[in-house]
Amino acid sequence: MSKNKHWLVPDWPAPVNIHAATTLRTGGVSKEPYLSLNPATHVNDLTERVLQNQKIISDMLNLPADPIWLDQIHSNRIVKAEKTATPQQADASYSNESGVVCVVMTADCLPLLICSKDGKKIAAIHAGWRGLLSGVISNSISELACVAPIAKPTDLLVWLGPAIGPNCFEISVEVCEAFVEKSKHYEKAFKLQNNGKYLADIYQLAKIELNTLGIINIYGGTYCTMTEKDRFFSYRKNNQTGRMATLIWKD
């Protein structure tokens, strides 16, 4: 992973025309509890500061266009990234057009970026446990295949961005059971604690679904948003906080 003061660049073998980044919490204008590079309008930060942060992100990443922000609802819905009067309700977006910036916002949930090895297709996915359970990754892969046929799953590259780590993501018995009922493969992503609840490895949950789909070129997945508080926003740790933006675009 390439490091910068205010954003991360994925360390993955993407084609040269593919560009991607995850913003950190630093480098913006928002005040506590959104300190400081918060691009989210839905968390009760001052709108003028959010808009200024969005411009800072566009400028520092030299984006070719304004990102296509989504109204994220913890669903399994993926949409084509395109300008609309109001943000589309979805948790993933895709594009096969140059200069279109797909983006998702997270603060513990898992951001995934996808691109094809030929550099023609891209997608950004927001995956909390609800989205993972309801199949947001599978839906996104299916949609990409509909846009332009993918010869085989190994033609796709996936990067797992910063999310809550496996030692911090506590979930209920019911959530664990729902995943295991869906597939026994998910059992290895959970660890029972003394309090009767489970620790979940969100990275592992995503990898299991990706592997089930035949996707093996998976990168990233080494951070913890909850413990690396100087770099990342964490909803579980702070409740009222900002969001990181994870973006992908192509020439």
Domain parsing of the chain, residue ranges: 2-165+203-250
**Residue 95, Cβ neighbours under 10 Å: how many?**
23
Percent of the chain with pLDDT over 90: 92
Distance CA 241, CA 10 (A): 24
Angle at 231 between CA 229 and CA 237, to 5 degrees: 30
Cα–Cα distances in angstroms (integers) from residue 131 to residues 90, 136, 164, in the given order: 10, 5, 15
CATH topology of domain 2-165+203-250: CNF1/YfiH-like putative cysteine hydrolases (3.60.140)
**Which of 34-38, 121-125, 149-153, 168-172 has the lowest average pLDDT?**
149-153
Q: Is the pLDDT of residue 56 over 80?
A: yes
pLDDT digits (tens, 9 = 90+) for 207-246: 999 999 999 999 999 999 999 999 999 999 999 999 999 9
CA distances from 106 to 17, 23, 103, 212, 243 (A): 25, 10, 10, 25, 5
pTM of the model: 0.94
Q: End-to-end distance of the chain based on CA atoms, in angstroms? A: 22
**Distance between alpha carbon 155 and the CA centroid of its chain, in Å?**
20
Phi then psi for residue 219, to 5 deg, are -130, 165
